[in-house]
């Protein structure tokens, strides 16, 4: 589990995925939280993610997390990694926040804690993310987290994607500067 002041990110185990396949009410019962109908914009990804974890259980921890709003005791989105770090230490993050909780800093909070989690593992050298090829809220989130534009890549049917990244060196330098600015 990964925690922030307002969020709890629970690794989505096979048990949680199986509950999700039976519906939001089944997941709500197992987690003991409210699971609203609109908690994700990508319900079709649940089955894809479930199959991926079922075929490779070692992904747990480097995969799909359920974002629980602590004060509201409610599932408000997902976040996590697209898989384990590559042999050269690169890992990709992703996240989504349900419509009712957007523009309140939760996406930034989630992205920041995922980046920190990744760099807490010495073998991770770079964290990347992809966005649609447009300046939007996702881009602002990644920029707030210290990520830099790294170029356009062939994307999906929706068009090209922008690649964002932060290296371990950039991350540690930004942390040191932030800590120095907090000193009296």
Q: Which residues of the chain, if any, have pLDDT below 70?
A: 155-156, 158, 183-184
Class for the domain spanning 2-182: alpha beta
Angle between helices 168-182 and 106-119 (to 10 degrees): 110
Q: Who contacts 135 (Cβ-Cβ below 8 Å, separation ≥6)?
A: none
For residue 29, what pLDDT is reported? 98
For residue 9, what pLDDT is reported? 98
pTM for the predicted model, two decimal places: 0.93
For residue 158, what pLDDT is reported? 65
For residue 156, what pLDDT is reported? 67
pLDDT (tens digit per residue) in 105-129: 999 999 999 999 999 999 999 999 9
Report residue 163: phi and psi, to 5°: -105, 135
Q: How do the domains of the chain map onto residue ranges? A: 2-182
């Amino acid at each position: 589990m990964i925690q922030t002041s307002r969020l709890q990110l629970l690794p989505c185990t096979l048990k949680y995925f199986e509950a999700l396949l039976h519906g939001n009410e089944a997941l709500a019962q197992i987690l003991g939280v409210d699971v609203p109908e609109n908690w994700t914009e990508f319900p079709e990804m649940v089955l894809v993610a479930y199959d991926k974890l079922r075929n490779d259980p070692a992904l747990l921890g480097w995969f799909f997390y359920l974002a629980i709003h602590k004060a509201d005791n409610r599932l408000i989105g997902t976040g996590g990694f697209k898989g384990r770090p590559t042999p050269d230490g690169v890992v990709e993050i992703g996240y989504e926040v349900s419509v009712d909780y957007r523009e309140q800093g939760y996406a930034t909070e989630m992205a920041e804690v995922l980046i920190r989690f990744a760099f807490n593992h010495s073998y991770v050298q770079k964290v990347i993310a992809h966005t649609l090829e447009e300046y939007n809220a996702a881009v602002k989130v990644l920029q707030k987290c210290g990520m830099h534009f790294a170029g356009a890549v062939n994307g999906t049917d929706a068009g090209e994607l922008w690649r964002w990244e932060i290296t371990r060196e950039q991350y540690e330098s930004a942390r040191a500067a932030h800590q120095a600015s907090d000193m009296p």
